[in-house]
Structure 1
Amino acid sequence: MISNAEASFQSKVDLNCDFGEGYGIYTFGQDEKLLQYVTSVNIACGFHAGDPKAIRQAVASAAEAGVAIGAHPGLPDRLGFGRREMAVEPDDVYDDTLYQIGALGAFVRAAGTELRHLKPHGALYHMAGRSEAIADAIIRAAKAYDPKLRIYGQHGSLLLRAAELHGLRAVSEVFADRTYMADGTLTPRILPGAMIQSRNAALDQALRMVIQGVVLTPSGDVTAVQADTICLHGDGPHAASFAAAIHDGLTGAGIRLERPE
């Protein structure tokens, strides 16, 4: 992670969620309920989750709702839902990322809409935050597909730095339903307290990140963040209620919910 820059108040913010992560007869998450609250979605592209039918249906639902559509490529690890790190070479990351963007892009084009952004999934997201080579491979794939793609990455990550170096729009992401470590990274899921269980706590964190530009760790440390977009995971049992609370709380505080331009 690179050092935190001084963050500023955001008068508008994007609210995104991971989307279309079912497979075959299996459904996952609360996609349809979330669509009324979010302004962008990150659609699984078939590696960690998703299949052709799931992708087509996710694109159709998102297009009908008028939310921004992004690619959510992951590692080739369906069994681990893309959350286990793998010893992948940068060339493989480039090929796999471009392949997944292309698969989603075909359905987006067929639906007559636009692919606006890319956000890596799970372990690939965190690997790209720490590794210049992995980050560069993902950004080169995104740029090869469409240099107008916006890149969603965790505040302070090497992925955002790589996007800026390649001339792509970097969108700094924060998390409403995850706790943070003192260095600004997310608390690993394997540790207790990694997920925020209270919707009021999630709303408080979202408001603090947008209005004050900081996040509080469970131990009381204060870390600066830039909240261009807020991620809300769709796989939690209370995802829809969290989304409703955060949507209403942000708009009630005078913050506009808009997809990044």
Structure 2
Amino acid sequence: MKSIDLNCDLGEGLTTDEQIIPLISSANIACGYHAGDVDTMKRTIELCLQYNVAIGAHPSWPDKEYFGRTEMQKTAEEIYNIVTAQLLLIAQIAKEQGVKLHHVKPHGALYNQSAKDRTISAAIAKAVYDFDSSLIMFGLSGSISLAEAVALGLQTAHEVFSDRTYQDDGSLTPRSQPNALITDEQTSLQQILQMINSNTVTSVTGKIINLKADTICIHGDGSNAVAFAKIISYALKQAHIDIKAN
């Protein structure tokens, strides 16, 4: 039986987390730098434990004003410290509830920059490896961020997106462009099944691109996030694809 990990960015102060968590297998929990606080981390971890969902850290640039979507230029040491501080915080909260972290997925601009910038991705990977070398690094499928993680000896999960369109080079269409988001449920589902069954995705120009799909992201901050999660979860089960963490 085929299986796929279904992940979602959570703990960002939205009211839909309780509806989404039972439908996914991995949660990326905001660590306070772009959203969330100690209380939201604690509550989200409790929900994950209730539904046997893998608990991951979702570190960001320090950018609450713009939800972590502002690109920043920092030294490798600064990046290392930014990531480590967030891991320390959420790992301590998890430990208090008798559980440890499963994975790390950078958020927003930090994620996108690390997919293309070797200095950033190497600093993140080193921070994660030094903190806990058993953690799985989530990153854009086929990107530099995962190559740097592998070079250090980390396990990785190639991430693909249910609700984002792709460019011909395999990168995500920037959110600044009008066709960046997939808002139609059937289009999203078609893209997911293509990625799982053939390890390909169709770009905005119609080009078929090869990509590895270990984990699929659904965004928890979309207006139709719950509907997407329900439809995707149901469709995967109908297609005999098991939803489980890596």
Q: Which TM-score band applies after superposition, normalised by the shorter structure? A: over 0.9
Q: CA deviation at 1:226?
A: 0.7
Q: 2:168, 2:204 within 8 Å by CA — same for their partners in 1?
A: no
* Structure 1 counterpart of 2:98, one-letter code: G
Q: 2:71 aligns with which of 85, 91, 98?
A: 85
Q: 1:56, 1:107 within 8 Å by CA — same for their partners in 2?
A: yes
Partner of 2:2: 11
Q: Which SS does the other structure have where 1:13 is aligned?
A: strand
Is 2:91 aligned against 1:105?
A: yes
Q: 2:204 aligns with which of 218, 235, 238?
A: 218
* Structure 2 counterpart of 1:108, one-letter code: A
Q: Which SS does the other structure have where 1:41 is aligned?
A: strand
Q: Where does structure 1 lack aligned partners over 5 or more consecutive residues? A: 1-9, 23-27
Q: CA deviation at 1:218?
A: 2.3
Q: 1:177, 1:197 within 8 Å by CA — same for their partners in 2?
A: yes
Q: CA deviation at 1:29?
A: 5.6
Partner of 1:194: 180
Partner of 2:226: 240
Per-residue CA deviation, residues 68-124 of structure 1 (Å, 9 max, x unaligned), is 000000000100100110122211110010000110000110011120000000000
Is 2:159 aligned against 1:168?
A: no
Q: TM-score, normalised by structure 1?
A: 0.92
The runs of 4+ residues in structure 1 deviating greater than 3 Å are none
Q: Which SS does the other structure have where 1:100 is aligned?
A: helix
Q: CA deviation at 1:235?
A: 0.5
Q: Where does structure 2 lack aligned partners over 5 or more consecutive residues? A: none
Is 2:113 aligned against 1:122?
A: no
Q: Which SS does the other structure have where 1:178 is aligned?
A: coil
Per-residue CA deviation, residues 156-187 of structure 1 (Å, 9 max, x unaligned), is 11111011111110100000000000000000
Is 2:45 aligned against 1:59?
A: yes
* Structure 2 counterpart of 1:181, one-letter code: Q
Per-residue CA deviation, residues 39-76 of structure 1 (Å, 9 max, x unaligned), is 00000001011111111111111111110000000000
Q: 2:6, 2:216 within 8 Å by CA — same for their partners in 1?
A: yes
Q: 1:131 aligns with which of 117, 124, 127?
A: 117
Q: 1:21, 1:29 within 8 Å by CA — same for their partners in 2?
A: no
Partner of 1:20: 11
Distance 1:30 1:212 in 2: 31
Distance 2:186 2:231 in 1: 8
* Structure 2 counterpart of 1:192, one-letter code: P
Identity %: 39
Is 2:79 aligned against 1:71?
A: no
Q: Which SS does the other structure have where 2:212 is aligned?
A: coil
Distance 1:116 1:128 in 2: 20
Q: 2:111, 2:139 within 8 Å by CA — same for their partners in 1?
A: yes
Partner of 1:140: 126
Distance 1:90 1:223 in 2: 32
Distance 2:64 2:96 in 1: 26
Distance 2:67 2:15 in 1: 13
Q: Which SS does the other structure have where 1:259 is aligned?
A: coil
Q: 2:201, 2:208 within 8 Å by CA — same for their partners in 1?
A: yes
Q: CA deviation at 1:203?
A: 0.6
Pairing 1:20-39 to 2, within 5 Å after superposition = 20-22=11-13, 28=14, 30-39=16-25
Q: Which SS does the other structure have where 1:115 is aligned?
A: coil
Partner of 1:231: 217
* Structure 2 counterpart of 1:168, one-letter code: L
Q: Which SS does the other structure have where 1:130 is aligned?
A: coil
